[in-house]
Structure 1
Amino acid sequence: MELTKSNHLDDAVCPVARTADIISGKWTLLIIRDLAAGVKRFNQLERSLNGISPKTLSERLRSLEEEGIITRRTFAEVPPRVEYSLTEKGLDLVYVIESMRSYGKRWLCNQ
């Protein structure tokens, strides 16, 4: 099996390719990591993700919402308040992040 070659059909039917497509964007896994701790507002995410631009954060949040990974809850207040949280689908990705953390600690840190 050749791992370097991929086509559109493979992405549609391969669960690994499809998952990678969802989480491969820069900052995406870190957004999910932060939301794993609980509900967050936009400015809380922006502060915890040092270096992310508001535009990029908005794009990633929108993409994750479209994928059903997060939910966006808007409150009719002045100023408007918006909160983000993981869906059940998003919570399942926390296991992926935990596996990455374990791998990183074992093989990439303190070497």
Structure 2
Amino acid sequence: MDKIFLEQSKCPIKKTLDIIGGKWKLRIIFQIGSEIRRYGELRKLMPDISEKMLIQELKSLVEYGVLSKKSYHQIPPKVEYNLTEKGFKLIPIIDLMKEFGAEN
């Protein structure tokens, strides 16, 4: 393993945790996976997250370029999310975490 980065801002692990850290982001990425998901679908798949938190986390993931968001101007509003190329790079990490959790 590499030496500890002396300057916190250059630490790649810190940068990764800034993007995907927290209670919900990895679960959101996992639920979207290779599919296009509408906001309502995500709410049903994750009933234990508040609406405010889901909106906040989705917005953050879009800003970091992990998710893309497509809004349709219709009534009722329709919003779809899917993983970007950067987001797909996280799937093997999530799979390893899932495997580790199942074993332990």
TM-score, with structure 2 as normaliser: 0.89
Partner of residue 83, structure 2: 86
Partner of residue 61, structure 1: 58
Q: CA RMSD, aligned part only?
A: 2.0
Task: Report matched runs for 1:97-108 at 5 Å.
Answer: 97-106=94-103, 108=104
What is the SS of the residue equivalent to 1:44? helix
Q: Percent identity?
A: 36
For structure 1, list consecutive stretches of 5 or more residues without a partner in the other structure.
Answer: none
Which 4+ residue blocks in structure 1 deviate beyond 2 angstroms?
none
Letter in 1 for 2:90: L
Q: 2:12 aligns with which of 11, 15, 18?
A: 15
How many pairs does the alignment contain? 103
Structure 2: distance between partners of 1:42 and 1:103: 29
Q: Assess if the C-alpha contact under 8 Å between 2:34 and 2:82 holds in 1.
A: no
What is the SS of the residue equivalent to 1:17? helix
Letter in 1 for 2:24: W
Letter in 2 for 1:79: P
What is the SS of the residue equivalent to 1:19? helix
TM-score, with structure 1 as normaliser: 0.84
How far is the alpha carbon of 1:13 from its aligned partner?
1.3
For structure 2, list consecutive stretches of 5 or more residues without a partner in the other structure.
Answer: none
